[in-house]
């Protein structure tokens, strides 16, 4: 079985409050990027094996965690997973989360488990805050820690989206360091109804303040995108990738 886990961007990201469980309540619009994908192969095997090509993942890969989750709950047999990483890591593009979610969907199909998307979504949420989004893989307004999803009828229309990966690696822990949670003046679902030309200054990513202070080259790179004619430019998620809408 061959699958193509795709990237996502965040259109706006508000960090609203810190929760008692240590996580933060956020608000963001997850938007899939189908043209930027990893390559995931899952095949039957006598024993479990995970092979990663391209960028290496420290620790246990989320694909392996996804298999172990279904193995423990539903007794699925071993598989061999080959993952070719093309989505940059530490970029805020959701590559690891996409890999995990697509592994769940692939194993569900491969072994005929018949799990509906809602159940896969709940399982994915235990693996990572934005994993659940990739089960549905369509524009979603996300709240809570990113797992409370509401479908949004949204598209970029005739606009062009361009992704600009950066050399810097930004961890989620680093992005949250020093951030001040606050209620947004306007909610994202209302802002994205406006023409893209009006988003600048309204559609914000709260992580930019913290990350740009530590990585000033990223702020400069975003300013270049505006200087070159972007209607809207921002950092995706906790960074470091930038994107521009033209």
Q: How far is CA 33 from CA 48, 146, 161, 209, in A?
A: 30, 18, 9, 24
- Active-site position among 38, 99, 105, 130: 130
Closest alpha carbon to 163 in 49, 245, 76, 69: 245
Enter the tokens of residue 90. Answer: 């530490």
Closest alpha carbon to 12 in 197, 150, 241, 206: 206
The CA R_g of the chain, rounded to the nearest whole Å, is 18
pLDDT for position 68: 97
- Active-site position among 8, 99, 105, 206: 8
Is a pLDDT exceeding 70 seen at residue 144? yes
Structure confidence by residue, pLDDT tens digits, 172-200: 788 888 788 999 989 999 999 999 999 99
59: left (phi over 0), alpha (psi -120 to 50) or beta: left
Structure confidence by residue, pLDDT tens digits, 212-233: 999 999 999 999 999 999 999 9
8 classed as catalytic: yes
Closest alpha carbon to 162 in 112, 115, 99, 229: 229
65 classed as catalytic: no
62-74 vs 95-110: helix crossing angle, rounded to 10: 30
Q: How far is CA 221 from CA 163, 199, 212, 224, 234, in A?
A: 12, 18, 10, 5, 10
Over the chain, what is the mean pLDDT?
A: 93
Residues 117 and 123: their CA atoms lie apart, in Å, by 10
pTM of the full structure: 0.93
Domains of the chain by range and CATH? 2-151 (3.30.230.10), 161-245 (3.30.70.890)
Structure confidence by residue, pLDDT tens digits, 113-135: 999 999 999 999 999 889 999 99
pLDDT for position 89: 85
């Amino acid at each position: 079985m061959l699958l193509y886990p795709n990237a996502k961007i965040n259109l706006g990201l508000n960090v609203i409050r810190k929760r008692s469980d240590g996580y933060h309540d956020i608000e963001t619009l997850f938007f899939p990027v189908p043209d930027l994908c990893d390559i995931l192969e899952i095949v039957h095997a006598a024993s479990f094996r995970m092979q990663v090509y391209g960028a290496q993942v420290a620790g246990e890969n989320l694909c392996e965690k996804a298999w172990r989750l279904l193995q423990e709950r539903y007794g699925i047999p071993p598989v061999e997973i080959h993952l070719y990483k093309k989505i940059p890591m530490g970029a805020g593009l959701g590559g690891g989360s996409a890999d995990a979610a697509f592994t769940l969907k692939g194993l569900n199909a491969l072994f005929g488990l018949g799990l509906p998307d809602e159940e896969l979504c709940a399982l994915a949420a235990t693996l990572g805050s934005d994993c659940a989004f990739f089960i549905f893989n369509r524009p979603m307004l996300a709240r809570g820690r990113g797992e409370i999803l509401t479908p949004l009828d949204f598209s970029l229309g005739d606009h062009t989206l361009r992704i600009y990966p950066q050399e810097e690696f930004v961890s989620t822990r680093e992005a949250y360091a020093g951030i001040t949670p606050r209620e947004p003046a306007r909610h994202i679902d209302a802002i994205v109804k406006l023409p893209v030309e009006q988003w600048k200054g309204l559609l914000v990513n709260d992580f930019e303040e913290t990350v740009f202070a530590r990585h000033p080259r990223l702020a400069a790179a975003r300013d270049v995108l505006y200087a070159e004619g972007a209607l809207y430019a921002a950092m995706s998620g906790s960074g470091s990738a930038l994107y521009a809408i033209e």
